[in-house]
């Protein structure tokens, strides 16, 4: 895992690249790759790359980056892991390609040299990379199907800049910090900044599952090579009908295959372990793949001792069942208050989540780990969230309401009036206003602030500009390419494109990399998705939610874990937010000062208030 950066000059050597700027960008990302840093400059003066390395596969210095194939005019900077690099290496060797290292980076570069941009259809992994092709005089950038690994860019007509972090681009000192109405309004609505926006108007992300070219003509529109939504749409159109035993066999085989690929490394691989099914199943399947020691880590909080939110007891039982070397890392309030400024600095894009991942990543780093597996993505794939049941129910109710002429309009006006005086939640009005589609229902369910609440927070002009660009819930509909017939597939696609991609995966990246830790997500894998989606949209009776995931290890998860009510990864955030002065800007907003205001709304406003 690494940090990548680069600058492209549209006018070539006539407008030189500022090496000091590239150095500042690269050094900002040192925590992403503390092992070694490197630079490369093209002879023509058009392109320059920088890299920070966290060595995981092929620890030898020959595998350092930037990596070149001089005779073919190619150079690469790469962040991530290609889990099927050994198979690709064999295929490339058979085609006559020779290798100097055992790294996946070289396989990726040789793959591009052999297959061009079609190499993307062969990759299995998490990745963001840039390749300079001197023969074609162009820059090629690409990002993995789910968007596990980030890559951001800014271009001003003279230079195109990219890096693994938004704040790294800003650290170069040449890009404006002017706030983005689309990014800020989108963040306050969803709790995470919707791709491809950032909270800065001149910085964007390369979309997930897409590639782009940059040459003297400018930046090409992103071109999709993989769409998670398309997989769910195809699954809805052609569901797989199978018996419970066949369904379980399919799930188990696909999960075993994913875990096998995600545990490839030249350093020890540990695991985050909660009291839930997702991480427990991952650890159980890891044990089947590894005979060596497995280090597992759980966070504990004094406030939760003995309560439903205490993860420590059940996680210890799971660790004992699978024979891991287990650490329970207890966190006290004083530590969080001391670390909070550091956490906020590491938070590359504002998020109402991620503190938990930062804390457990800190514990993993303290334990000497460089790689961990996480259970993130299990709920989004297997339908673990309550709204997989709730949203279809709401949609039916809203369809009945809309059969009565004028009922929806009257109901919406009444609820908006009631919400203004604290007699009804804003989401109740959103449910009526947007209830005709799953995208609208998703906004009502997942959203933090409803669109009409934003003027108070952002000012009328800024809020109107952001909302005019996003057109809620249109930005949600467009993200999944339109409606999907099957309810399960629709919700799964929405979760993958928003909560998973823009929040959980983004938080996993910045929070783990702040501790020089590579976090892998075997339940977030395009090959796994393609194998399971047709069966999941039409799963057999008795195989609901995550039962098949829990039963995937040969030694199944304890029944106490399977039957545990879902709580999520809880933190005492409400108390922390009230007790610290670092994030207290919410106090000047009357609606946020109301005791009934949820801590996530307070936190969200605090994180963007300084931008405005």
Over pLDDT 70: what percentage of the chain? Answer: 99
Residue 570: its pLDDT value, please? 60
Residue 568: its pLDDT value, please? 59
Spatial separation of the C-alpha atoms in residues 114 and 108, rounded to whole Å: 10
Spatial separation of the C-alpha atoms in residues 254 and 252, rounded to whole Å: 6
Across 199-203, 420-424, 556-560, 606-610, the highest mean pLDDT is recorded for 199-203
Per-residue pLDDT of 427-455, as tens digits, reads 888 888 898 899 999 999 999 999 999 99
CATH number for 2-226 (one of 1.10.3720.10, 3.40.30.10, 3.60.20.10, 3.40.50.12280): it is: 3.60.20.10
Closest to 41 measured CA to CA, from 30, 49, 51, 33: 49
Report domain extents, the chain. Answer: 2-226, 387-489, 574-612
Span 299-325, average pLDDT: 89
Spatial separation of the C-alpha atoms in residues 599 and 353, rounded to whole Å: 11
Closest to 189 measured CA to CA, from 609, 605, 610: 605
Residue 1: its pLDDT value, please? 67
Residue 563: its pLDDT value, please? 86
Residue 412: its pLDDT value, please? 76
Residue 237: its pLDDT value, please? 95
How much is the mean pLDDT over the chain? 93
More confident of the two residues 588 and 349? 349
Q: What's 467-525 look like in SS3?
A: HHHHCCCHHHHHHCCCCCCCHHHHHHHHHHHHHHHHHHHHHHHHHHHCCCCEEECCCCC
Measured between alpha carbons, how far apart are the two ends of the chain, in Å?
34
Span 593-610, average pLDDT: 90
Span 315-338, average pLDDT: 93
Spatial separation of the C-alpha atoms in residues 235 and 484, rounded to whole Å: 10
Residue 569: its pLDDT value, please? 54
Residue with tokens 């006018």: 11
Per-residue pLDDT of 146-199, as tens digits, reads 999 999 999 998 999 999 999 999 999 999 999 999 999 999 999 999 999 999
Residue 579 has pLDDT above 60, yes or no: yes
Assign residue 410 a region: left if phi > 0, alpha if psi is -120 to 50, beta otherwise? alpha
Span 531-558, average pLDDT: 93
Per-residue pLDDT of 110-148, as tens digits, reads 999 999 999 999 999 999 999 999 999 999 999 999 999
Least confident of 49-63, 381-395, 456-470: 49-63
Q: What's 58-95 look like in SS3?
A: CCCHHHCCCEEEHHHCEEEEEEEEECCHHHHHHHHHHC
Span 237-262, average pLDDT: 96
Residue 420: its pLDDT value, please? 73
Residue 6 in 3-state DSSP? strand
Residue 508 has pLDDT above 60, yes or no: yes
Residue 544: its pLDDT value, please? 82
Q: Per-residue confidence at 241, pLDDT binned at 50, 70, 90?
A: very high
């Amino acid at each position: 895992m690494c940090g990548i950066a680069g600058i492209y000059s549209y006018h070539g050597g006539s407008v030189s690249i500022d090496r000091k700027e590239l150095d500042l960008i690269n050094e900002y990302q040192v925590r992403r790759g503390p092992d070694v840093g490197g630079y490369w400059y093209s002879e023509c003066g058009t392109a320059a790359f920088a890299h920070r390395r966290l060595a995981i596969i092929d620890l030898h210095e020959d595998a350092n980056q930037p990596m070149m194939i001089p005779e073919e005019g190619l150079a690469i900077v790469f962040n991530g892991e290609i889990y099927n690099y050994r198979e690709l290496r064999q295929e490339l060797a058979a085609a006559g390609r020779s290798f100097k290292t055992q790294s996946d980076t070289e396989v990726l570069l040789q793959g591009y040299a052999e297959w061009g941009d079609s190499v993307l259809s062969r990759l299995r992994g998490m990745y963001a990379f840039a390749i300079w092709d001197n023969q074609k005089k162009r820059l090629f950038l690409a990002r993995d199907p789910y968007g596990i690994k980030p890559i951001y860019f800014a271009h001003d007509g003279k230079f195109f800049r990219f890096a693994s972090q938004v704040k790294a681009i800003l650290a170069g000192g040449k890009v404006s910090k002017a706030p983005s109405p689309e990014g800020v309004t989108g963040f306050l609505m969803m709790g995470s900044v919707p791709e491809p926006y950032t909270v800065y108007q001149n910085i964007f992300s390369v979309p997930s599952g897409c590639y782009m070219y940059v040459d003297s003509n400018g930046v090409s529109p992103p071109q999709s090579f993989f769409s998670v939504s398309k997989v769910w749409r195809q699954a809805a159109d052609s569901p797989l009908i199978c018996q419970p035993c066949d369904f379980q066999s399919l799930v188990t085989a696909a999960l075993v295959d994913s875990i096998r690929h995600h545990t490839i490394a030249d350093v020890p691989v540990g695991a985050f372990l909660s009291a839930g099914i997702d991480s427990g199943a991952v650890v159980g399947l890891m044990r089947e793949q590894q005979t060596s020691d497995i280090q597992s880590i759980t966070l504990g909080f004094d406030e939760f001792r003995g309560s439903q939110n205490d993860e420590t007891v059940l996680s210890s039982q799971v660790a004992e069942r699978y024979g891991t070397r287990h650490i329970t890392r207890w966190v006290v309030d004083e530590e969080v208050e001391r670390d909070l400024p550091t956490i906020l600095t590491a938070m590359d894009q504002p998020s109402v989540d991620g503190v938990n991942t930062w804390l457990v990543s800190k514990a993993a780093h303290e334990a000497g780990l460089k790689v961990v597996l996480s259970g993130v993505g299990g709920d989004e794939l297997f339908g673990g969230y309550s709204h997989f049941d709730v949203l279809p129910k709401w949609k039916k109710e809203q369809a009945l309401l809309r059969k009565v002429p004028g009922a929806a309009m009257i109901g919406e006006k009444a609820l908006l009036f009631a919400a203004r005086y604290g007699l009804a939640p804003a989401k109740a009005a959103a449910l009526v206003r947007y209830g005709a589609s799953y995208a609208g229902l998703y906004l009502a369910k997942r959203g933090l602030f409803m669109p009409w609440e934003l003027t108070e927070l952002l000012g009328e002009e800024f809020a109107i500009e952001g909302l005019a660009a996003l057109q809620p819930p249109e930005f949600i509909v467009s993200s999944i390419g339109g409606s999907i017939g099957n309810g399960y597939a629709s919700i799964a696609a929405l979760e993958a494109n928003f909560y998973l991609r823009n929040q959980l995966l983004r938080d996993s990246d910045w929070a783990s990399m702040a501790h020089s830790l590579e976090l892998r997500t075997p339940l977030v894998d395009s090959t796994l998705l393609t194998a399971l989606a047709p069966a999941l949209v039409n799963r057999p009776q008795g195989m609901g939610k995550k039962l098949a995931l829990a039963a995937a290890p040969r030694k199944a998860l304890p029944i106490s874990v399977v039957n545990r009510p879902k709580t999520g990864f809880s933190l005492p955030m409400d108390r922390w937010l009230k007790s610290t002065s670092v994030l207290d800007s919410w106090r000047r907003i009357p609606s946020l000062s109301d005791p009934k205001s949820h801590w996530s709304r307070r936190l969200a406003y605090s994180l963007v208030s300084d931008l405005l």
